[in-house]
Amino acid sequence: MLDRLNHRGTLTIETERLILRRYKSDDAFDMFHNWASDSEVTRFLSWAPHDHIEITKEIIEIWMNQYQYDHVYNWGIQLKHEGTLIGGISVVALNETHFSCEIGYCIGKEYWGNGITTEAFSAIIPFLFDKVGMNRISANHDTQNIASGRVMQKTGLQYEGTARQARKRGSQFYDIAIYAITKDQRRNR
C-alpha cells in the first residue's frame, strides 16, 4: 500500500468518443456557449451561469495556472471527432490523508442523455485508482437532479445516503445524495 498519493496531474485520457484534456485559452467560446452560460445546465450546480464570456475566460485562466500543480485534476470533455468542448469533469475535493477525492462534472444540455458524462466519469475512475492511488472516489448531487444520480450509479458508485440541507444555492439550502466507490468495491465488481 502506498504511503502517499502518486499525483500525475491532469493527463489526457481518451475514450471511444471523447478526449479528456486540460483546458486551453481558446476553450472559452465553447465553454461559455455550450454550458457555462446556460441557466438550465447550472440549475443544480453550486455556481451561477456566466453572464458574459469574460467570466469564462477568467476561470479558464485560473484553471490553466493551477495545472502547474500535480495534484490538480480538471479535464475539459471534448468530442473526439468534432473537436468541440462540451463539458468538464474534475476532482473538486481531495483528501490526501484518507486517499479520497470527490468528483464534479457538468455537460452542455445538447449532449444530455447520450452517455457522455458516464463515459467521461468511467474513464477517470481507473486513472484515479490505478495511477494516482486513490482508495475512495465520491460524488454528490442535488436530490432533485435525478439524472446526475443515474450517472453515478452507471459508473459503479453506490448510494450512501442523503445529507439534509448540506448545500446552499442563493438563499436556499438543499439536500444532496452521496455516492461513492472504493478500490476494493471496484475490484470486486
Q: Residues 117-139: pLDDT tens digits?
A: 999 999 999 999 999 999 999 99
Q: Residues 51-90: pLDDT tens digits?
A: 999 999 999 999 999 999 999 999 999 999 999 999 999 9
What does the chain look like in DSSP terms, one character per residue? --SS-----S--EE-SSEEEE---GGGHHHHIIIIIT-TTTSTTSSSPPPSSHHHHHHHHHHHHHHTTSTT--EEEEEETTT--EEEEEEEEEEETTTTEEEEEEEE-GGGTTSSHHHHHHHHHHHIIIIII--SEEEEEEETT-HHHHHHHHHTT-EEEEEEEEEEEETTEEEEEEEEEEEHHHHHT-
- To the question of domain 13-187 being in CATH 3.40.630.30, the answer is yes
| Domains in the chain: boundaries | 13-187
Q: Is the pTM of this model over 0.85?
A: yes
